[in-house]
Chain A
């Protein structure tokens, strides 16, 4: 029996207004979108969305956009941005790296902080963005941290993207020559620029990525943080049983290529708002 799809009800974004701007970071235009609560009285905290990287950015784009709208509607002044060399931001992809993107996070966080110096700042990292969020949080940036489907390390992430790229090529065009991750790594090592998911990877990018890992705050960390791990993602926390600071959600992998364009994200959005609210309450209590 064929059934009709029942699209989920769209998230409430009526209390969100967007402002688009470019921020100057090392002479490049970093694209930013600010989602502000329409009612000033509803203002609770600032949220910096440190989003997915590369092809995951475009796949997760609409979900991230709606999440930011949803946060704004719930009283969070939310900013999302594109890293240098990716999406709407200018920059040469062959000259950037995770270290450069971490600088972008710091620059955008400073911008947010200068606009609202007394407002709590929540750093929200998504996927590989969670690595960068956790690294800047570890240096004292932000008053609270929230991670969504965090990736364990830059090296793991690069391996995952290469595997996904090779799988997609096999499916998309049987005439393409077969390659392996070892082939790609060897070519990169030889100084070649290798196309991975449409982005020109360099050996410097790969080498730099291996120096970045998710930084789990130590027990002594006084600032609140939380991780929303999405099943069945193999992430830093998902394989562990219930732990403090971690929630495992059954939600769709919105950063992957799928014929489903609007994954069911209600539980993710609700969990994000609840976690962000909880973090801000803890931060204020502290």
Chain B
């Protein structure tokens, strides 16, 4: 398989990515008949290779089955230009508030135009999944699918910061807004109106829910026993019957949140490749 370094200028910043050329001369776009590709965004703040090169492994596998696969570093991450995030809680908060939305939308547009594609499945792990969901929620017409690896819906991460190194925006779970949110949730839950746990970002849940209802095929790869499993079960439970068929949940046992323990890496690659193969738009060898 051949890889190519690719670039995109966004807002005066050079973003750097990798294109995994489909094997056996199968090129993305019109040459192969495949009109859709896959774009993976950074797994949290990790470089575009992903945690323990998970994103590389997925894109290699997709290229093997004839799917054009791309990975990009978002601003300030990996090899891309831009200010580096300082700490995980601040980065997470910024991602939930759209830090990467415009860059991701611009990348999607750039990739489809440059490689002659019509649509993309976009995804990533954790914060990468969040940005992908936000992109789908914005009703981006290029989006064909979501690849969510351990999506995280929490408002605040359970990260313990070292002493004397406060975050730029300290989390305050006991703040007045949090108390109001919890109270509203309790009341609504009693009458069956609020399906989302109080510690989560309800707009993210709603965004994913609406996207799937409106036709976005989605795969979620989850670490069994971790919160994402419970959260995605909530999403699934509230989907219509037709929309449920568009959601593929894959639970992997004995692994961690970044899917680097046990056989998760192989299992994730297998699951994503299988999911891609269902749709001939992604690969002429699909189906």
A→B interface (CB under 8 Å): 2-5, 7, 10, 18, 20-22, 29, 31, 33, 54-55, 58, 61-62, 65-66, 86-88, 90, 168-169, 172-173, 175-177, 195, 197-199, 258-262
Contacts and interface: CB of A to CB of B under 8 A. Distances in A.
Nearest to A80: B79
B104 interface: no
8 contacts: A20-B16, A62-B45, A62-B84, A87-B53, A173-B254, A195-B261, A195-B263, A262-B84
A22 B52 CA distance: 20
B168 A4 contact: yes
Nearest to A55: B52
A31 to B, nearest CB: 8
Given A58-B52, A198-B53, A259 B261 contact: no
B203 interface: no
A185 to B, nearest CB: 18
Contact of A176 (B2, B89, B261): B261
Interface string B90-111: 1100000000000000000000
B161 interface: yes
Given A20-B5, A88-B3, A88-B18, A61 B47 contact: yes
Contacts of B54: 198
Can you list the 4 inter-chain pairs with the closest CB atoms, starting with the nearest?
A198-B52, A198-B260, A172-B256, A20-B5
B2 A29 contact: yes
A5 B78 CA distance: 23
Contacts of A195: 260-263, 265
Contacts of B188: none
Contact of A90 (B3, B84, B89, B165): B3
Interface in B7-30: 16, 18
Contacts of A168: 256
Contact of A7 (B168, B256, B265): B168
Contacts of B86: 5, 7, 260-262
Given A5-B168, A58-B49, A61-B47, A176 B256 contact: yes
B162 interface: yes
Given A33-B79, A173-B225, A195-B260, A259 B162 contact: yes
A176 B258 CA distance: 14
A91 to B, nearest CB: 11
A4 B256 contact: no
B88 interface: yes
A259 B84 contact: no
A270 to B, nearest CB: 18
B193 interface: no
Nearest to B165: A260
B83 interface: yes
Given A29-B3, A169-B261, A259-B161, A175 B78 contact: no
A262 B85 contact: yes
Contact of B79 (A5, A65, A169, A260): A65
- Name the interface size band of chain B: 35 or more
Contact of A261 (B45, B51, B223, B255): B45
Nearest to A65: B79
B284 interface: no
Contacts of B159: 259
B164 to A, nearest CB: 9
A175 B167 contact: no
A262 B82 CA distance: 13
B225 A20 contact: no
A58 B79 CA distance: 11
B49 A5 contact: no
Nearest to B71: A88
A172 B165 contact: no
A87 B168 contact: no
B77 interface: yes
Interface in B243-266: 254-258, 260-263, 265
B141 interface: no
A4 B86 CA distance: 12
Nearest to B45: A261
Nearest to A13: B81
Contacts of B79: 18, 20, 33, 65
B84 A175 contact: no
B56 interface: yes
B226 interface: yes
Nearest to A85: B53
A259 B225 contact: no
B27 to A, nearest CB: 18
Contacts of A31: 3, 5
B91 A261 contact: yes
B87 interface: yes
Nearest to B90: A5
A55 B224 CA distance: 23
Contacts of A66: 84
Interface in B155-204: 159-162, 165-168, 170
Contacts of B262: 176, 195
Contacts of A18: 79
B158 to A, nearest CB: 10
Contacts of A4: 166, 168
Contacts of A29: 2-3
